[in-house]
């Protein structure tokens, strides 16, 4: 592995996560870009990064930058990802890949035209070792035919009407919020594990607070309530949603997504039912996978590299009993991406722009279904 020069655009909650993970892999973060020059400089000082760029053009003009991580608001993803590809750099984009299916389709086309450049989307939940192990179990036939998948992704950081973030505004994040922001993690994960594709959805969404209070100066993700007062701002994006899923081949599914469930800080769960066995996993207990059986005792599978499938073992660094969690999942995904940049023949199953495009198409079908109050097919164009 050769140490690469990396720039991270975005200095909010997730930007520093990218910086830390990249450094843990031995690469050099040469600069960061904030939403303003002042915020960029403050972040560079806090993170010990050499440079803070004044704008995106300055980032791309830096000859030391080989890889760009985009941790910016959703509305910027399309233009910035396109610019990175056109500048000849590798790129990793936070989800969702872009705001519309038309935008993501164009990014897929641009990436396909540049096969020597790696283009990835940060669906990091794939890279919890036991999620990789679950995928290997499905592919080995241990579950039999997949019958159905149920689960949820629940948070509480937008529980109060005084909780505010740019994500609640459709013009900044898109027409969907909870589903696009966290629901796509669940959708990507279950498709990744099962190998199934979603063909149709039936969705019911709810905006609990049609008006929220925006504090002066804004607020960061997961920072909690801003208190009382502030500017009253109309909100059209959903706080909650439940979605019925129909997969190609006949399997069914159901997922509930909420950012207003008190006590659930960041809880993704799935129950995967097969004709032979079942699997269950909870992101707040990420080092345990539960395997259910009909004719014998159920199993608790602990994250232990010595016991994992080979495809999962390579992305688990610590011995059994030494917990791996949220920061490690980013490190492992980036490990696969940087292996691809180095030309490794089997870098690992990192999410591509095609995967990001698929998730945006599912989101568009979800929004159509909510508005039409009926099943809608997932279509490309």
DSSP structural state of residue 26:
T
| pLDDT at position 222 | 58
Q: What is the pLDDT of residues 301-333, one digit of tens each?
A: 999 999 999 999 999 999 999 999 999 999 999
Does 131 have pLDDT greater than 80? yes
State CA 227 to chain mean position distance: 29
Q: How far apart are CA 77 and CA 98, in angstroms?
A: 5
Is the separation of the CB atoms in 237 and 208 below 8 Å? no
Q: Which CATH number fits domain 5-124: 3.50.50.60, 3.10.20.740, 3.40.50.720, 3.30.2350.10?
A: 3.40.50.720
What's the pTM value of the predicted model, to 2 decimals? 0.95
**pLDDT, mean of residues 135-158:** 98
Instruction: List, in sequence order, the alpha helices (H) in the chain.
Output: 15-24, 37-47, 56-61, 74-86, 101-112, 129-139, 170-173, 178, 184-194, 310-313, 326-341, 353-372
pLDDT tier for residue 140 given thresholds of 50, 70 and 90: very high
Q: What is the pLDDT of residues 2-12, one digit of tens each?
A: 999 999 999 99
Does 149 have pLDDT greater than 60? yes
pLDDT tier for residue 216 given thresholds of 50, 70 and 90: confident
Does 362 have pLDDT greater than 70? yes
Q: Is 19 exposed, middle or buried (0-12, 13-18, 19+ CB in 10 A)?
A: buried
Instruction: Please state, for a pLDDT cut of 90, what percent of the chain lies above it.
Output: 93
Q: What is the pLDDT of residues 10-38, one digit of tens each?
A: 999 999 999 999 999 999 999 999 999 99
**pLDDT, mean of residues 132-155:** 98
| pLDDT at position 227 | 59
Q: How far apart are CA 177 and CA 238, in angstroms?
A: 6
Q: What is the pLDDT of residues 258-302, one digit of tens each?
A: 999 999 999 999 999 999 999 999 999 999 999 999 999 999 999
Superfamily covering domain 126-322+358-372: Dihydrodipicolinate Reductase; domain 2 (3.30.360.10)
Q: What is the pLDDT of residues 46-66, one digit of tens each?
A: 999 999 999 999 999 999 999
Instruction: Please state, for a pLDDT cut of 70, what percent of the chain lies above it.
Output: 96
| pLDDT at position 221 | 64
**pLDDT, mean of residues 137-164:** 97
CA distances from 29 to 74, 94, 335 (A): 22, 17, 15
| pLDDT at position 226 | 53
| pLDDT at position 219 | 61
DSSP 182-232: IIHHHHHHHHHHH---EEEEEEEEE-S-SEEEEPTT---TT-----S--EE
**pLDDT, mean of residues 183-199:** 98
Mean pLDDT of the chain: 96
Q: How far apart are CA 344 and CA 347, in angstroms?
A: 5
**pLDDT, mean of residues 249-265:** 98
Q: Where are the domains of the chain?
A: 5-124, 126-322+358-372
pLDDT tier for residue 217 given thresholds of 50, 70 and 90: low
pLDDT tier for residue 230 given thresholds of 50, 70 and 90: confident
**Pairwise pLDDT comparison (52 vs 174), residue with the higher score:** 52
């Amino acid at each position: 592995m050769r140490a690469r020069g990396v720039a991270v655009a975005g200095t909010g909650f997730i930007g520093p996560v990218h910086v830390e993970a990249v450094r843990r892999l031995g690469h050099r973060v040469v600069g960061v870009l904030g939403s303003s020059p002042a915020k960029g400089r403050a972040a560079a000082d806090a993170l010990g990064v050499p440079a803070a760029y004044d704008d995106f053009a300055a980032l791309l003009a830096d000859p030391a930058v080989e890889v760009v991580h985009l941790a910016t608001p959703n509305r910027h993803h399309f233009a910035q990802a396109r610019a990175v590809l056109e500048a000849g750099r590798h790129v990793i984009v936070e989800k969702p890949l872009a705001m519309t299916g038309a935008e993501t389709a164009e990014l897929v086309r641009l990436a396909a035209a540049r096969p020597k450049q790696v283009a990835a989307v940060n669906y990091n939940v794939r890279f919890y070792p036991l999620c990789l192990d679950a995928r290997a179990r499905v592919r080995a036939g241990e579950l039999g035919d997949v019958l159905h998948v149920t689960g949820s992704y629940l948070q509480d950081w937008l529980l109060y009407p005084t909780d505010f973030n740019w994500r609640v505004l459709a013009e900044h994040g898109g027409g969907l919020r909870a589903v696009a922001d966290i629901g796509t993690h669940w959708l990507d994960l279950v498709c990744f594990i099962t190998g199934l594709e979603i063909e149709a959805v039936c969705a019911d969404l709810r905006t609990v607070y049609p008006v929220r209070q925006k504090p002066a100066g804004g607020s960061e993700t997961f920072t909690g309530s801003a208190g009382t007062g502030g500017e009253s701002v109309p909100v059209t994006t959903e706080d909650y949603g439940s979605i019925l899923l129909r997969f190609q081949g006949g399997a069914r599914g159901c997922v509930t997504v909420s950012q207003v469930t008190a006590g659930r800080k960041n809880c993704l769960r799935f129950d995967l039912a097969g004709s032979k066995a079942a699997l269950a996993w909870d992101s707040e207990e990420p080092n345990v996978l539960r395997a259910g059986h009909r004719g014998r005792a159920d199993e608790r599978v602990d994250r232990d590299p010595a016991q994992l499938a080979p495809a999962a073992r390579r992305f688990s660094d610590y011995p059994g009993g030494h917990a791996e969690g949220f920061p490690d999942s980013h490190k492992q995904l980036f490990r696969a991406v940087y292996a691809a940049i180095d030309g490794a023949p089997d870098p690992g199953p990192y999410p591509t722009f095609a995967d990001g495009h698929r998730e945006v198409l599912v989101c568009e079908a979800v929004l159509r279904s909510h508005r039409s109050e009926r099943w809608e097919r997932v279509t490309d164009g």
